[in-house]
Every structure is written in C-alpha cells, then in structure tokens.
Amino acid sequence: MPSTDLLLTFNAGSSTVKIGIFAMDGAAARRIGKGVIDFRAEPLSLGLTKGSQTFDMPLKAEVTDDLHGVIDEVFALLADHFDMTATRAAGHRVVHGGDRFTKAIALDAAAIDAVDALTPLAPLHQPQALRFIRALRHLKPHLAQTASFDTAFHATQDDLVRRFAIPRALHEEGIKRYGFHGLSYKFIAAELASKAPRAAKAVVAHLGSGASLCALDQGVSRDCSMGFSTLDGIPMATRPGSLDPGVILHLAGEREQSFEEIEDLLYHRSGLLGVSGISADTRELLKDGRPEARQAIDLLTLRIAGEIGRMAATLNGLDTVVFTAGIGEHQPEIRAGVAKRLSWLGLTIDEKANAANDFAIGSGESRIAAHVIAADEEQVIADEALSILRGD
C-alpha cells in the first residue's frame, strides 16, 4: 500500500466522537491528526489537531439520526488538511461484541446487523457507533470498514469470574459479565510489557466519565469491574456503579417509577453528580469547598481502592497499579486518595512524581509499583483495522 493511504478511526461515545487520522505506513498505522465533535455543544464544531496546529471548525450541517450531513461536512473540512481521496478504510470502536465477537471484524451488511442485534446489551453506546458505521456506508459505500469491540479483550476471563449467581439458563442466554474499556486495557497491557515488563499482576484503573478497573495477569484480562453493562463497578460521572438490585425493585414497585425514569436516573443523574448535587466533573468537585463535593470524591476513591483489593484476590496477588484515562492521567489528588486507602497493601506514592503525572509514581519504599500511562484507544482501532486489511 502507498504510504499516502489514510485510515480513519471513529471512537463514538454517548455524546461525542473522537476521530483519528492515520497514515498507513507499510505494516504500521501512524497517527497524523485527530478530531473531536461534542454533540452537546452549541454551535457544533469539529476540533482538529494536526501536528502542533489546532483548528476549531464550525459545522453547519443539521444533526440528524442518520448523520449524513455531518459526516459529509466532516470529510469536506478534513479535505482542507489531508488528502481524503486517499482514505482506504475506517475503523470503529463498538462497545459490545457479546460472546460472538471476540476479535475485530470486517463490517459488511450481515455483520452490521449482528452488531445491531447486540444493542439491548449497550443501549447508550451501541446505537452511536452504528450511526457512524451506517452513515459512512451510505456516503462512502466502497470504503472498507472494521469494528473493534470493547468486550473482546475480556473474553479471556474464566467462566467462574463471568458468572452471576442466577439460574444457569439465564447465563447461557447471555446474562453474564462481559467487561468494557477493552481497547484501553489492550493498549495499556502492551505498554506495560514494553515499559514495565516485571509487572506480572496488575490492576489498571481506567478513570474517565465512564470508569472501570481491569485485573491483568501477564497482560491478559482476568477480571473487570464493569459486568453485564456499563453501569456496573465504581461510581462514574453520572452512573452509580455497583447498586443493590433491590433499589431498582423499590423504585419500580413502591415508587412506581417507569422504565424510562429509572434508566435516566442510572445513566444521567447518579454517580458523582448525584452524590454531590453539584457537578459530574472531578475537576470542579476538587475545587469546590462544600462537603457534598468532598464526599463525592471520597466515595470515588473508596470504591476504586475497594475494587483494587477485590481484584487482587482474583489475581492471587498484586504487584502493579496503573492509572489511565482523563482522571487517571491528569488528577494527582485522585491517585493520592486511592493510594492512601491502599497503604495497607504497601502502596505509597512519591508526591513530586505524582504531581508531575510521571510514568512511575511509586515511592522507593512502596511494595507495589504505581504507573500513569496515557491510553490510546484509537491506535488500537487503527492497528486492528490495518491487520484486517492485510488479511492477518
């Protein structure tokens, strides 16, 4: 393939999309640009980074369910900075692959329908990825497309770990723990193997608006805090994390709340926002002096530390803790709060290294290594897409 060939990646969240622009240099995908669209913003714009340059380009297209206008305009704007006629493929992050998709796949009509059939398992995220997949298929019908699944990395987990204590028939029907943020964890596992090869039993904390933890044994997923859905595990920006199912029964029965009301509560009104009543953003909560803000932060660090302890039991040991994603990479106060609650495990951090967001933040006396590693999900998507194009 010519070195000028381009590969795009689409990492769609519930309200944003991150777009990666990669040059296909032989056997490697090299990032040459990145864009982001926040669909909550008014007016809508495409933020683009190319080298040291940044651009904020307004989008005039109306946001429709099919996104045809938006995608068409995005390609036109990108064409001012890249040779978009050289685009050979697009790779997509898809949150849920169920038990069917345990590796990246090429997307044809049948595969797209199969991905759509999994929407009930990820109702907040799956439709967003499908919107971009179908929009590109409509506007660029000959463009090769691939899907990389967040759940795929966790297919290595033991059946016992994936089970809920429910009737076996329900487990066989697919009600089980799947795990998410797999693209992030796959990248971190590779980084650990390269930069900290002695990290055998590690817990990685992916801390962003959506947050989870993963137990890695020699780079292989053995447990994840998120289970059947992206609601499970630790508190998040607006999601509660682990919640006694009796609460749902109470809301539906005693309080007669509708499915829609409960869904809105769980996805949009809980988590840090619900506890604080102030904000879903840890940066704002850390600056706020009110006790409700402090309680939200303390609850977050308590649950993260507790989950790390639980995963140490899954791994039968622990030698490394890794912090990644927006909060994990950039907020020393959160990392310090977690470490303080894990001092009983022998985890202590170096204040100066932690404040600088260094790679190694563990103190010289710490019995457990602590690292900060930037995740790059788009690179994983690009690498997997290129592998499919090569026929690997």
Measuring CA to CA, which residue among 89, 233, 201, 221 is closest to residue 151?
A: 221
- Nearest of 138, 136, 101 to residue 116 by alpha carbon: 101
Q: What secondary structure letter does DSSP report for 360? A: B
Other beta carbons within 10 Å of 224: 30
Angle formed by the axes of helices 68-78 and 126-139, nearest 10°: 70
DSSP reduced 3-state for 33: strand
Alpha-carbon dihedral angle through residues 182, 21, 114, 106, given to the nearest 10 degrees: -100
From the list 5, 65, 116, 150, the catalytic residue is: 150
The CA-based angle 116-239-206, given to 5 degrees, is 85
Strands of 201-207's sheet in order across: 220-224, 211-217, 201-207, 320-324, 369-372
d(CA 20, CA 60): 21
List strand residue ranges (DSSP E) for 137-241, in order.
144-149, 201-207, 211-217, 220-224
The C-alpha atoms of residue 143 and residue 13 are separated, in whole angstroms, by: 22
Structure tokens that stand for 121 in this block? 């398992």
Say if residue 225 is exposed, middle or buried (CB neighbours under 10 Å; 0-12, 13-18, 19+): buried
φ/ψ of 222, rounded to 5, equals -120, -15
- Decide if 376 is catalytic: no
Round to whole Å and give the CA distance between 10 and 118.
Answer: 19
For residue 96 the two structure tokens come to: 């849920």
Query: Residue 48: phi, psi to the nearest 5?
Result: -125, 135
C-alpha–C-alpha distance, residues 93 and 91, integer Å: 7
Q: Known catalytic residues?
A: 150
